[in-house]
Every structure is written in structure tokens, then in C-alpha cells.
Amino acid sequence: MSKVLVLNGSVIPSEKSNSHEMARVFLEEYKKVNPKDEIIELNLNKLVVGTNTLTTETFGTYWSEDEGMKYINQLKEVDKVLVIAPMYNFQVSGMLKNYIDHVALANQTFSYKYATKGESIGLLDKLKIQILATQGAPKGWYPWGDHVAYLKGTWEFMGATVAEPILLAGVKVEPLSTQTPKDIVSTIVLKLIEAAKKF
């Protein structure tokens, strides 16, 4: 039995969210294949780890035992992480960035100790990650704003194995912009189902 952590990095209510619909389809199939796995959901909208931003004022307490270490330890205890990641202003949501800022901590999730040529060693090498991402523009419109590459690279930096990310792009342009989340996600449903079976 595996433990699966679901990170909700969307600010859109679930019934209106394309990324939530992607996650719903993915998890529905995943549970069919892995009925005994434990699913742990984190809504970053409602947690300090999602809403606390690193600033000059918070720097001294940001990586506190109560918050940062709690979620770092959680990552060390789970087997898989499903990341719900819409694009906002060419990047992940502030909440998801705040979460990453809390858990990307030297000597906890990565280390330079015993590394060579300035490279780091990721310490979350037992984790498997699946990224479910959306963006309003078609893929490639903003090559400098590739939030999927940022997420993939960050998790790999911390040692995790990242499955092929699934990006649903162009949701804010026609023809997708006129459709419901269910209809939009139906265009990639087979890809979601296949990924869920392999995760």
C-alpha cells in the first residue's frame, strides 16, 4: 500500500477548475488500480505552508519546526505526490511556490554534502511525482514562462522521480474557452487514464 499526497495549487473553486477536473479523472482511475492506497489531500489555500510568503519580516521563522519541517517530514513519509498546477501569470500559483519554498531546504530535501562539481544531491529519492498542469495559452506561447519545466526541475533537484507531466494548454482560447471543465478535460482523458495506471 502506498501513500499519495495531493497538492492543490489552484485558487479556482473545484467545480470551475480544469486542473481539479484533471485530478478528479486521474484519481478516479488511480483508485481503481490501487484501491488500498491512502490519499492525503492538501489544499494550499487553507494552510500556512501555502499562504506564508518568504520576506524580510518572515525570514527568521519561515523554516520553523511547526510548518516547514512538518511538511518536509510528510514528504519523507509518502510514496507519491500528485501536483495540481495551473499557470498564473506565467508561473505556478503563489501558494504552490510558498509550499516549495517551505520544503526545499538544504540538508533536509537536498544536500551539497559529498557532492562534486557544485552539484547537489536530492534527498527525496523515494518519491514519485505526477504533475497535472493547465495554462490559458497554447503550449509554447510563453517559452520564458514554462511552469511545468520549473516544477519538474525542482522536484528532480530534490531527488524525486517525475513522471511525464501532463499539460492541458490553451484553455482560455477557443475552442476550449467556451467549454465546461468536464468537456475540456475530456480531450485528454485517455492520457490521464494511462498515466494514472502507471503512477
Can you say which residues are annotated as belonging to the binding site? 10, 17-19, 87-90
Binding residues for FMN: 10, 17-19, 87-90
Cβ neighbours of residue 61 under 8 Å, at least 6 residues apart? none
Cβ neighbours of residue 92 under 8 Å, at least 6 residues apart? 9, 85, 100, 147, 150, 151
Question: 87: which 3 cell numbers?
Answer: 499557470
